[in-house]
């Protein structure tokens, strides 16, 4: 792992030569690292920030999340562009395990606030990735006004999510003009990332809400073991994985024929804060829990099968003639076979945000799913789940968001450059 260090301007020039001429402090320093690490295979070191796709999507899911959405508080297009440039430069540095700015946390002048808040000094990057997306309200405000001259560039796939049966959405935990997903194997590194982006954004953006996640609920690589959610079940078995490259083109990445141009190589993120009434679940029998999910709790195998990755047989019946995987089991309703082939790359996290004053934990799943087109993927799948999933007795969707996450950043460019071109 790379040691995080505060560094001086001289150190920066040493690393990157005269390349600081980009005008974005520290940006070139990270460029010098480009190509050293592969985000697909390296499980310990820094994850490469630059690439065809943004890091943090197929990157093997890290253990911790700090997710935040921001409202833009300025009406000046140039101010938004400047912020995105500054954010990109900062993200390139901290994902490489470095401090932000020329002087970092501790080498600046004593009279000024430090450029970096410092809580990550000495910590490795712990595979930090920072992924950005733009919500519908970034393009047009609630009255339909074109905020930054981008109305015509709003992707058709970036729809406002419809109301689903059972939704109980809190506006203070929903929406946002810009989403930033910071994932790392170290919670302090993920929090440091969001905190510093918020700090840089002061006067241009304000945090709308943020969410911490402490345990990944999906694997996004076959090299990872499948983790468990707060219902105690293996979650992420039948997920899209980074090794499924052909499928990722079909299901995850926006293709040239989809348009708009600025989204090619990108993906759409749907976030849902899903409260789980774990106290009620914990009083439900083991066999009932397994029927609801459609998989064994111990092995994670489809009911009627022995191993986690055994193929699911939706026709198989018990000796009494009942389907082994019930009509309203979660995995049947969510499976591509019953959703016109639609799949999702799920990348969610468990959360426990204290208790609710009624003796219940405010616990659940912060569901994150990436896809090529939410109109064909998340929306129909969630419609079906909202209508029929028996799991609904134990869960409630309380927050929601949808974001267009552009393709990857190349050295010298910035997040959203093609959008603003």
Contacts with ligand L6N33NVT by CB under 6 A lie at 229, 231, 233-239, 272, 274, 276, 293, 295, 330-331, 334-336, 344, 365, 367, 378, 381-382, 385, 395
CB of 9 to ligand L6N33NVT, least distance (A): 48
Cβ-based nearer residue to ligand L6N33NVT, 92 or 329: 329
CB of 340 to ligand L6N33NVT, least distance (A): 13
Q: Where are the alpha helices (DSSP H) in 59-100?
A: 77-95
Q: What does DSSP say about strands 349-355 and 215-216: parallel, antiparallel, or unpaired?
A: antiparallel
Cβ-based nearer residue to ligand L6N33NVT, 314 or 414: 314
CB of 274 to ligand L6N33NVT, least distance (A): 4
CB of 215 to ligand L6N33NVT, least distance (A): 12
Contacts of residue 362, defined as CB under 8 A and 6 or more positions apart, other chains included, come to: 275, 352, 353, 354, 355, 356
Tokens of 201: 């954004």
CB-CB contact of 287 with 295 (8 Å) = no
Size (the chain), residues: 421
Cβ-based nearer residue to ligand L6N33NVT, 66 or 234: 234
How many of the other CB atoms lie within 10 Å of CB of 149? 10
Cβ-based nearer residue to ligand L6N33NVT, 196 or 229: 229
Which candidate, 160, 190, 154, places its Cα nearest to that of 175? 160
CB of 83 to ligand L6N33NVT, least distance (A): 32
CB of 320 to ligand L6N33NVT, least distance (A): 24
How many of the other CB atoms lie within 10 Å of CB of 89? 23
Q: What is the DSSP letter of 317?
A: B
CB of 133 to ligand L6N33NVT, least distance (A): 18
Cβ-based nearer residue to ligand L6N33NVT, 32 or 301: 301
CB of 376 to ligand L6N33NVT, least distance (A): 13
**Prior bond to 400 cis, omega within 30?**
no
Q: What does DSSP say about strands 345-346 and 215-216: parallel, antiparallel, or unpaired?
A: unpaired
Cβ-based nearer residue to ligand L6N33NVT, 192 or 347: 347
Cβ-based nearer residue to ligand L6N33NVT, 241 or 295: 295
CB of 350 to ligand L6N33NVT, least distance (A): 10
Cβ-based nearer residue to ligand L6N33NVT, 85 or 330: 330
- 220-223 contacts: CB < 8 A, separation 24 or more? 220/57, 220/58, 220/59, 220/60, 220/61, 220/345, 220/347, 221/40, 221/58, 221/60, 221/61, 223/43, 223/60
With b for 16 or more beta-carbon neighbours within 10 A and e for fewer, the 272-299 pattern comes to bbbbbebeebeeeeeeebbbbbbbbeee
CB of 310 to ligand L6N33NVT, least distance (A): 12
Cβ-based nearer residue to ligand L6N33NVT, 188 or 384: 384
Report how far residue 328's alpha carbon sits from residue 20's, in angstroms, rounded to the nearest whole number. Answer: 58
Q: What is the DSSP letter of 236?
A: -
Q: What is the DSSP letter of 119?
A: T
Cβ-based nearer residue to ligand L6N33NVT, 15 or 292: 292
Could you give the angle at the alpha carbon of 268 between the alpha carbons of 386 and 155, nearest 5°? 110
Report how far residue 287's alpha carbon sits from residue 330's, in angstroms, rounded to the nearest whole number. Answer: 14
Could you give the angle at the alpha carbon of 418 between the alpha carbons of 375 and 401, nearest 5°? 35
Cβ-based nearer residue to ligand L6N33NVT, 177 or 235: 235
């Amino acid at each position: 792992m790379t040691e995080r260090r505060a560094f001086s301007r001289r150190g920066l020039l040493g690393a990157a030569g005269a390349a600081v001429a980009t005008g974005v402090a520290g940006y070139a320093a990270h460029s010098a690292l480009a190509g050293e690490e592969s985000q697909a295979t390296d499980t310990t070191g820094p994850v490469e920030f630059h690439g065809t796709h943004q890091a943090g999507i197929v990157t093997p899911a890290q253990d911790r999340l700090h997710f935040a959405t921001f409202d833009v508080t300025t009406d000046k297009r140039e101010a938004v562009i400047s912020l995105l440039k500054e954010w990109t430069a900062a993200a390139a540095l901290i994902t490489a395990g470095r401090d932000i700015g020329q002087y970092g946390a501790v080498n600046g002048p004593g009279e000024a606030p430090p450029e970096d808040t410092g809580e990550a000094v000495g910590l490795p990057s712990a595979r930090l990735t920072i992924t950005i997306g733009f919500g519908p309200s970034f393009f047009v405000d609630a009255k339909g006004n074109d905020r930054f001259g981008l109305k015509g560039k709003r992707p058709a796939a970036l729809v406002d999510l419809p109301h689903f049966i059972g939704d109980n959405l809190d506006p203070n935990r929903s929406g946002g003009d810009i989403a930033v997903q910071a994932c790392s194997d170290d919670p302090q590194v993920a929090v440091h990332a969001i905190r510093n982006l918020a700090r840089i954004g002061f006067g241009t953006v304000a945090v709308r809400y943020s969410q911490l996640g402490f345990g990944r609920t999906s694997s996004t690589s076959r090299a990872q073991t499948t983790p468990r959610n707060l219902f105690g079940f293996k979650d992420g078995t039948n997920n899209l994985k980074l090794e499924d490259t052909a499928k990722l083109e079909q299901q995850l990445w926006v293709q040239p024929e989809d348009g708009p141009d600025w989204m090619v190589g990108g993906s759409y993120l749907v976030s849902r804060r899903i409260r789980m009434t774990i106290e009620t679940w914990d009083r439900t029998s083991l066999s009932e829990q397994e029927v609801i999910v459609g998989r064994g709790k111990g092995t994670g195998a489809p009911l009627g099968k022995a191993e986690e990755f055994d193929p699911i047989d939706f026709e198989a019946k018990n000796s009494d003639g009942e389907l082994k995987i019930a009509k309203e089991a979660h995995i049947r309703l969510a499976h591509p076979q019953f959703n016109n082939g639609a799949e999702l790359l799920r990348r969610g996290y468990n959360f426990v945000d204290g208790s609710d004053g009624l003796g219940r934990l405010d616990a659940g799943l912060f569901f994150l799913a990436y896809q090529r087109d939410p109109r064909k993927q998340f929306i129909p799948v969630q419609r079906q789940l909202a209508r029929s999933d028996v799991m609904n007795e134990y869960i409630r969707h309380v927050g929601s968001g949808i974001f267009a996450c552009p393709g990857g950043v190349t050295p010298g460019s910035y997040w959203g450059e093609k959008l603003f071109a």
